[in-house]
Amino acid sequence: MKSSKTARTSEQDPRIAFFDEKAERWDSEDSGGLGIPARLEQHRELLALSPGQDLLEVGCGTGKTTAWLAEQVAPGRVTAVDFAPRMLAQARTKQIDADFHRLDVCRDALGEGLYDVVFCFHCFPHFRDQPAALSNLARAMRPEGRLIVMHLAGSERINHFHSSIEGPVAGDVLPRGSAWPALLEGAALGPALLLDQDDLFFLEARKVPRRRRA
């Protein structure tokens, strides 16, 4: 996979500048008193990652979760992408055994049928074109692949937070349960599991098999 040759600038999408400005201190932010990998470890069975899988990590930021993901799927490979260059620069300094690329999942080609798992962690609300992103991610999945959208808080808490702040991410929304079937259908995906509780949002979706013509 090649990084986008026509990457959007911070003037075209102010979210890029928003996250770049936070890059140097991003790793100091905590989540519920535990580090992010420890929180993911608590949900190991739910995530159901397996050795040998190829995984696309979307919105990898500074690589907070990348090393943990790489350990779960080795000898499979993690491809980690983000649209914020300073976030990626921080991630690359960690020398994690993963492939890092600057890509915008709303518009840049991700390849077709490459990944067993597409993992969107703490990033889906910030996709400015969520239907386009889902279609792009679905194309990148293998026929039996899984899309995972995960947050360590429920949609009500996340959306309330985004509605209470100012700036480029103000009002960015994580869709609630009733909105997901139509969103996924537009990308030829179907929901396999949806959990939306105070301390966890977890969506698993899979490709919908094409019907054979009579």
pLDDT tens-digit profile of 105-136?
999 999 999 999 999 999 999 999 999 999 99
Domain parsing of the chain, residue ranges: 14-22+35-207
One of 3.30.70.20, 3.90.1150.10, 3.60.21.10, 3.40.50.150 is the CATH number of 14-22+35-207, namely 3.40.50.150
- 149 backbone dihedrals φ, ψ, rounded to 5°: -115, 120
For 51-90, write each residue's pLDDT tens digit. Answer: 999 999 999 999 999 999 999 999 999 999 999 999 999 9
Are 90 and 111 in contact, with CB atoms under 8 Å apart? no
Are 39 and 152 in contact, with CB atoms under 8 Å apart? yes
Alpha carbons 3 and 1: distance in angstroms, whole number: 7
Q: In the numeric block, which tokens belong to residue 15?
A: 């979210």
Q: What pTM was computed for the model?
A: 0.92
Classify 116 as helix, strand or coil: strand
Alpha carbons 145 and 97: distance in angstroms, whole number: 22
- 30 backbone dihedrals φ, ψ, rounded to 5°: -110, 170
